[in-house]
Structure 1
Amino acid sequence: GTTHTAQMLVYDVDGDGLNGVITSDAHKHGIFWYRQTRNGAETTWVQHTIDDSWSQAHSLALADLDQDGDLDLVTGKRFMAHNGSDPDSSGPLGVYWYALERGKTPAWKKHALTYDEGIGSGLNVCAVDLDGDGDIDIVVTGKWAGPVWFENKFK
């Protein structure tokens, strides 16, 4: 499981009619989703890894970026969250979106909006149609900079 969760999102990731939980380990490596299963009155949660290749994902958002009808995940690396005491605290910054492929065994395909260009995501990532063109754009703020707007290029 996670030891410090900065944010949790609720979404039916696998399309089974039961909501799952999407979260991250904000001060270590790991973005996860938890599948909800029920057996009578008993509910259990099974952890699945979305990505554990980078650390400090503090902010999360769900939006249909690729316009395929399901919600994708947007997040980014926070820079030096605790002044260097977290794993990979000064590693390359990035903002990523993960295209969800729903199904019995969901898959998340990672895409970089920016990587190693000094832009990360601090405590807030917004998914909104900022320019009014009918698709969802991404806006992030970092620890020492921002906001940065990523215009959606799918439309």
Structure 2
Amino acid sequence: MTVATDGGAPELSISRLIPAAPAAIWQAWAAPEMLRRWIAPSPVEVTCCAIELRPGGAFDLTMRLPDGTEMPSRGCILEAAENARIVSTDAMTAGFRPAPKPFMTSIVTLEPEGAGTRYTMRVLHVDEAGRAQHLAMGFETGWGQVLDQLAALATGLEG
């Protein structure tokens, strides 16, 4: 995990080599029934999942924590380059509609590396308080587990 601020938005990032082709990882992102299987760290349950990998498309999730708390997350896909890059934000909802309380923009890149894919996610926050909040929520541990889950799913898609 990297924590950076370069004069721009406060940023967090995580990168992992996943032993699957970019197309398999894209497939795990593109289908809501697959996305819900890996996008939240266990034992968090995804109760609602919608994704439209196109500019202006919806990226909506609702996660249920073990204590029953529901955490909705509504956003918009800004960029979707098949097998290569996904940019989304919660500063807007589907159709580029402004959202009331932006928290982050994520930039996911998929780069072929050897027999696998270098998966890198950069998360840009509105301010330092948002970055600190994301760290306190368990960014490194949570996203590490999520990437383990993604790797298991994407590897299975190739077999």
Q: Which has the larger radius of gyration?
A: 1
With the length of structure 2 as denominator, give the TM-score of the two structures: 0.28
With the length of structure 1 as denominator, give the TM-score of the two structures: 0.29
Structure with the bigger percentage of helix = 2
Structure showing greater relative contact order (alpha-carbon pairs closer than 8 Å, 6 or more residues apart)? 2
Structure with the bigger percentage of strand = 1
